[in-house]
Amino acid sequence: MFKAMGSPCELRLVGDDPSLLQDASRWAQDETRRFERKYSRFKEDSLVGRINARAGLSDALDLDEEAMALFGYADQCYRVSEGAFDVTSGCLRRVWFAGRKTLPPQEELQTMLKLVDWPAVEWARGEARLPVKGMEIDFGGIVKEYAADALIEGLKRRGVTSALVNLGGDIRCAGEHPDGGAWPIGVQHPFESGPIATLLLTDKAIASSGGYERYLEIEGRRYSHIIDPRTGWPVDALAAVSVVSDQAVVSGSLATIAIVLGERGLEFLSASGATWFAVDRTGKTFGTHI
């Protein structure tokens, strides 16, 4: 266990060579922290921090191949979701901040929504620039999942054939569980302690999205920390979504898009071809047969 990206993280590596596993574990922890240093919006000297600090200025920052892949995936998510997934929506935290006691007036939301505009971000030529002061990039819905995938592929290159990577609940596994067979993964119940389901995964990834752990309480009502970038308001139709696919980054983005789409999210998930599990605000469950 270790902490990175603001979350508890876990590595479980299986093999007969303790020295190889120790070296691989050190590499994986270092690599996780590299992703954090590079893409955290909380670090002024990270790539994302420096891009955000230059919003509205004329100078752009160079993007390497890895960063271009993340920007490209963010663009794909925006287009697939028809704007429901927008990595420029982090500025809405300035409206829905911890400790807020009253609902924001619509004028305040409209002012901030003018800064939510992924199509305006300049990045396709290998340089990133935010054209309007106050805009910001937040890869929080992508980078942990992307890192989990990168760690599994890196561990395989280092000779680890069975492993589980858990970065704050974004999970990718390879090979068999230490006891043989699939890896058992519990899906947290959004309203009760303990899992609502246990899935058996082999060479798959699972990621979840929901507002049941992080929320604001305003005027006696709970509001999810997940905000619809199109309206500026917290989502409330679905309490939790978990998605199983071949890649954690795909699972995570599908889950987040579904949460933001609300009731339409169930149709979106059904059309995705992925395996999924959802709970609405009444506790009713939906999903594919697993």
For the chain, the straight-line distance linking the first and the last C-alpha, in angstroms and rounded, comes to 29
Is the pTM for the entire model greater than 0.75?
yes
What is the model's pLDDT at position 48? 98
Specify whether the CB–CB gap between 143 and 7 falls below 8 A: no
CA neighbor of 207 nearest in space, from 263, 260, 245, 155: 245
- Regions of the chain where pLDDT drops below 70: 289-290
What is the model's pLDDT at position 31? 98
Q: Which two tokens stand for residue 225?
A: 């920390």
What is the model's pLDDT at position 194? 85
Q: What is the pLDDT of residues 270-290, one digit of tens each?
A: 999 999 999 998 999 999 855
CA neighbor of 6 nearest in space, from 188, 165, 152, 140: 140
Strands (E), the chain: 2-4, 7-14, 61-62, 127-128, 162-167, 170-174, 183-188, 195-201, 205-210, 215-218, 221-224, 238-245, 275-280, 285-287
What is the model's pLDDT at position 247? 98
Q: What is the pLDDT of residues 83-133, one digit of tens each?
A: 999 999 999 999 999 889 999 999 999 999 999 999 999 999 999 999 999
What is the model's pLDDT at position 92? 95
- Give the orientation angle of helix 248-261 with respect to helix 263-272, to 10 degrees: 150
What is the model's pLDDT at position 45? 96
What is the model's pLDDT at position 289? 59
Beta bridge partners of 8: 3
Structural domains of the chain sorted by starting position, each given as residue range(s) with its CATH number in brackets = 2-37+142-287 (3.10.520.10), 42-128 (1.10.3980.10)
